[in-house]
Structure 1
Amino acid sequence: MALILAQSFWDHYGASIAKAAGTIVIALLAVTLANRWLDRRGMQIVAAVSGGHLSQANDTRLRFTRRAVDATIITIAIAAALSQFTALDKIGQAVLASGAIAAAVVGFAARQTLANAIAGLFLAVTQPLRIGDVVTFEGESGVVEDIRLTSTWLRTPNQARVIVPNERLAGGVLRNDSIVDAVVAVEASLWLPADRDAIVALDRIRTALPELTVRLAETTADGARLLLVDRPAAPGDRAVREAELREGALRALGE
């Protein structure tokens, strides 16, 4: 009995399943070929146009374009595969009969995902941040590692990953330290307790480290904050240089 049912099912849906599977295989092959072309020829073309090297801006656009192409091919393939089944066509006609309700439900459920995807497109076009930029967003600082369709990945100095939704990133206040120059500012703060003389501390640090710019940034009831500023450095060296600033200032005060 089970064998008869299996044969009947395959006789009825076998051709549709084969066509759907073929569509998916062709889509996967198209995604693979598109990625290889963009990884090789696409980068070569972009590098040639930009003067022999792949800039941060073009690298960001190329990565986002590749993911957008992949998502488009896969979406079309899934729709084409589902269209092979006549039973699903009938279900689709029933859903379309109540299109207003279906659109409202789907739109509400997918609002966040669609908003993040549109925000990702906005970030790829306007580029307030690029691959490799050093940014600070909502108290989190790091290097932009990747800009995906729905999220942006930051790599912090301790090699952790901060994943920020694109919609939130596009609508928030972003600090980008390397969008104009290839180097970033090197700054470090040093807090002094209220019972210490901030002016004496300033004089000692300036004497011991004359190459630094030292300022009294703020004073509170709990103490004072000194701001140490050194010459700019490469984005990857900033964390180490800032740690060296604090160590040198503490040694100067200790002596």
Structure 2
Amino acid sequence: MEQASEFVVATRAALAQLSALAVQYSFSVVGALVLLVIGWLAAGVMSRWAHNGLSRIHGIDATLSQFFSNIIRYAILVLVVVMVLGQFGVQTASVLAALGAIGLAVGLALQGTLQNIAAGIMLLVLRPFRVGESIETGSVTGTVVDVGLFATELRTADGVYRLAPNSTLWNVPVTNYSRLKTRRHEISVSIPADANLAEAQTKLTAVATGDNRVQKDPAPSAYVADFDAGSTKMTLRYWTKSHDWWSASRDLTKAVKLAFDPKPEIPNHQGE
């Protein structure tokens, strides 16, 4: 009989403790759910605000604004998770220390990838080249198709797709053939040493001024670049718009060749 009464008392005490724990943790669960909902909504709102604000800044790429807005969103979500764990009595200091250690380990493991991301951010901010521009580096040459956070897509002159890690483009000098509006070109031709230099200069200048793609200012010029015992080297220098440079250089090179070709002799049939 006494054992039965002791069992009843123990059962009632256990039930009382369970009810107390249920009441205590029910508030914690409700508070955690509220924090999660508010945190999720706040992360979305702050991410959109950051994206819209960065998009209004001149020179900020859409990829870069999306990247920073995502960082803000995930940072808020991590903070919310830490606060939720604190609701259940978890020591948040140890959680933050663990997250820091994990972040350090991931950073060391992905050192090359993070280097490409850092280079991509600098390329998107400083813009040494843009989509559609023709560039050349130590190992990469082509037209820019897309600039991402990890790599840059290019199309070579012979129609080959090339993907270059951003770190390889950021750590070397980049030559941008399309950034400036005008470009200079030079065409060299060798003439006999006894040829009329003034006439040769007139021919070269006439070839350049006869092409509408050649800029009037600065005006094209022809000059003696070098000479030896048997020939004189003359150079035609002119400026064109950057997008006309290639086609104009091919056409004017041909025109210079034709201008200095010996004229075929016309046979005289009058005495026949």
TM-score of the aligned structures, taking structure 2 as reference length: 0.49
**1:233 aligned to 232, 238, 241, which one?**
241
Is contact 2:154-2:162 (8 Å) kept?
yes
Partner of 1:135: 135
Gaps (5+ residues) in structure 1? 1-10, 44-57, 191-197, 218-225
Paired position in structure 1 for 2:113: 113
Amino acid across the alignment from 2:239: R
State the one-letter code of the partner of 1:244. A
- 1:250 to 1:177, Cα distance in 2 relative to 1, 3 A: closer
Give, in whole Å, the separation in 2 of the partners of 1:98 and 1:199.
Answer: 72
Report the counterpart of residue 78 of structure 2 in structure 1.
79
CA shift for structure 1 position 171 = 1.0
- 1:204-245 per-residue CA deviation (whole Å, 9 max, x = no partner) reads 983772446789x9xxxxxxxx998541414xx24xx41232
Deviation at 1:161, TM superposition (A): 7.4
Q: Secondary structure at the match of 2:77?
A: helix
- Structure 2 vs 1, CA of residues 32 and 99 (structure 1 numbering), >3 Å: closer, same or farther? closer
* CA spacing shift, 1:152–1:73, aligned 2, 3 Å: same
Same amino acid, percent of matched pairs = 17
1:206 aligns with 2:232: no
Q: 5+ unaligned residues in a row in structure 2: which ranges?
A: 1-25, 193-199, 210-219, 226-233, 262-272
Corresponding residue of 2:171: 171
Distance in 2 between residues matched to 1:159 and 1:20, nearest whole Å: 51
For 1:161 and 1:77, locate their aligned partners in 2 and report how far apart those are by CA, in whole Å.
39
CA distance in 1, matches of 2:79, 2:95: 19
Structure 1 residue identity aligned to 2:172: G
Question: Is the Cα contact below 8 Å between 1:119 and 1:170 reproduced in 2?
Answer: yes
3-state DSSP of counterpart to 2:190: helix
SS in structure 1 of the partner of residue 143 of structure 2: strand
Find the counterpart in structure 2 of residue 31 from structure 1: 47
Q: Matches of 1:174 and 1:108 in 2, distance apart?
A: 29
Report the alpha carbon displacement of residue 169 of structure 1 after superposing the two structures with TM: 1.8
- Superposition deviation, residue 177 in structure 1: 4.5
Q: With structure 1 as the length reference, what TM-score do the two structures score?
A: 0.51
Residues 149 and 24 of structure 1: CA distance in aligned 2, closer, same or farther (over 3 Å): farther
Give, as a single letter, the amino acid of the residue that structure 2 aligns with 1:129.
P
Higher-Rg structure is 2
